[in-house]
Amino acid sequence: MRVLVTGGAGLVGSECCRHFAGRGHEVTSVDNYSRATFFGSEGDTSSTIAAVCRDHPGVEHHEADIRDVVRLRPLVRQADLVIHTAAQPSHSRSIEIPLEDFSVNAAGTLGLLELMRTERPGAVFIYCSTNKVYGDRPNSLPLVEKETRFDYDGLEGVDESMSLDQCLHTPFGVSKTAADLYVQEYGRLHGLKTGVFRMGCIAGGAAKATPAHNWEGYFMQVALAGTELTIHGYRGKQVRDVVHARDIARLFEMFAAAPRPGEVYNIGGGRANSISLLESFELIERISGRRIRSRLGPPREGDHIVYITDLGKVRRHYGWAPAVNLEDVFREIHGYLVRSFAAGR
Ligand SMILES: NC(=O)c1ccc[n+]([C@@H]2O[C@H](COP(=O)([O-])OP(=O)(O)OC[C@H]3O[C@@H](n4cnc5c(N)ncnc54)[C@H](O)[C@@H]3O)[C@@H](O)[C@H]2O)c1
């Protein structure tokens, strides 16, 4: 199979390149390294794809913008599977750069869908959506406060029936929602083999963590550097469910083998991989031997108090569940950062 990965230098994209190349598929990656423009040099993903190409010499990488139709057309034309991960990925950053956020996330995705429709309608198209399409609606679910976390009052997690409408999104949530709906539409209206994966808190050693994106790696960086962390509201009791990018790549392979056009799935670590920020301090301290120093700041706009994914639908359709547990996710991040610090990167 010929696989085209947009954002191939990023966290999810690079794991997808490794996963599919490791299984003998022909992989082409496209990335313009704009994570460095969004977040500064600490977000630069160019070394990530360099490492992928070193480990898998068959991977073909193009430094190109997904909005460059002339560069993308021949790449889409030869693909059997397009995994679209490229994005401006931060909701806080989107408030500062809404036009660029829309251009990459919404218009960029529509441009790719049009290339699919005109050049390669039989191929599978996978879209990395986000649980931020639900805006701050999950905050209206009844919650209980426990010693180290908030939790839903009697609910397993958020499923795909949650409303996307009439709540606060941030520009990122809106641009990703626009793309999410377009991807569904191209499945339903044009019959393309599209799939929408509404994900949250994807982690892994390959993440170029920054204060505005990939909190798991950023917290570990803070612990190792001995600097101070700002917790945004809720006394650190906000809850996330963490999933490793390798598990995402495995799921995408399952969808590509048996696509369900226009389908939508909520994806995350689920209840077993859920953790509050306070609880993550303990885990990070146990793994790194370093205590995190923190102070409390105001909540971020539209931030979820608790987000735990109900994985029921993806389990029923594909039998998928995360295989990498929380402890192993944080251990991998720790190992990667320790090696990077030692190498002076
Ligand atoms: N990481 C998460 O926790 C998370 C959660 C929910 C959804 N997602 C979604 O999953 C996808 C992948 O996330 P990630 O964590 O791997 O992000 P990432 O920032 O690590 O990777 C994205 C890559 O896309 C590239 N890129 C951005 N704009 C581009 C453009 N115009 N042309 C070419 N390349 C471009 C960046 O340089 C970067 O290497 C994104 O769509 C994101 O919104 C991620």
Contact 301, 168 (CB under 8 A): yes
Answer whether 311 contacts ligand 1 (Cβ < 6 A): no
What burial class does residue 319 get, using C-beta atoms within 10 Å of its C-beta: 0-12 exposed, 13-18 middle, 19+ buried?
A: exposed
Q: Give residue 233's identity as a one-letter amino acid code.
A: G
The pair of structure tokens assigned to 266 is 């909520």
Contact 344, 277 (CB under 8 A): no
pLDDT digit string (tens) for 262-312?
999 999 999 999 999 999 999 999 999 999 999 999 998 889 999 999 999
Answer whether 201 contacts ligand 1 (Cβ < 6 A): yes
In this prediction, residues 167-182 reach a mean pLDDT of 97
Answer whether 53 contacts ligand 1 (Cβ < 6 A): no
**Interstrand relation of 239-241 and 274-276 (parallel, antiparallel or unpaired):** antiparallel
pLDDT of residue 164: 96
* Beta-sheet strand order (sheet of 2-6): 60-63, 26-31, 2-6, 81-84, 124-130, 193-199, 263-267
Q: Which of the four pLDDT bands, split at 50, 70 and 90, describes residue 203?
A: very high
Residues 308 and 146: their CA atoms lie apart, in Å, by 16
Judge whether residue 344 has pLDDT over 80. Answer: no
Answer whether 86 contacts ligand 1 (Cβ < 6 A): yes
Task: Give me Rg for the CA atoms of the chain.
Answer: 19
CA distances from 5 to 21, 81, 182 (A): 11, 8, 19
CATH number at residue 91: 3.40.50.720
Answer whether 32 contacts ligand 1 (Cβ < 6 A): yes
Across the chain, where does the E strand assignment appear?
2-6, 26-31, 60-63, 81-84, 124-130, 143-145, 150-152, 193-199, 202-203, 228-232, 239-241, 243-244, 263-267, 274-276, 293-297
Tally the domains of the chain: 1
Residue with the smallest CA separation from ligand 1 atom 21 is 10
Answer whether 65 contacts ligand 1 (Cβ < 6 A): yes
Distance of CA 137 to the CA centre of its chain: 20
Q: Which atom of ligand 1 lies nearest, measured to the CA of 65?
A: 32
Q: Output the CA angle 257-260-266, nearest 5 degrees.
A: 100
The pair of structure tokens assigned to 164 is 């996307």
End-to-end CA distance of the chain: 35
DSSP state of 209: -
42 φ, ψ to 5°?
-65, -20
Answer whether 262 contacts ligand 1 (Cβ < 6 A): no
The pair of structure tokens assigned to 118 is 């005109």
Rama region for 87: left / alpha / beta (φ>0; ψ in -120 to 50; rest):
beta
How many Å lie between the centroid of ligand 1 and the Cα of residue 84? 9
Name the residue range of residue 52's domain. Answer: 2-342
What is the value of pTM for the model shown?
Answer: 0.97
Q: Give residue 100's identity as a one-letter amino acid code.
A: E
Contact 23, 254 (CB under 8 A): no
Mutate to test the pocket of ligand 1, among 4, 183, 199, 247 (most ligand atoms within 8 A of CB): 199
Residues 315 and 199: their CA atoms lie apart, in Å, by 15
The mean of the pLDDT values for the chain is 96
In this prediction, residues 11-31 reach a mean pLDDT of 98
How many Å lie between the centroid of ligand 1 and the Cα of residue 154? 33
pLDDT of residue 345: 62
Answer whether 171 contacts ligand 1 (Cβ < 6 A): no
pLDDT digit string (tens) for 125-168?
999 999 999 999 999 999 999 999 999 999 999 999 999 999 99
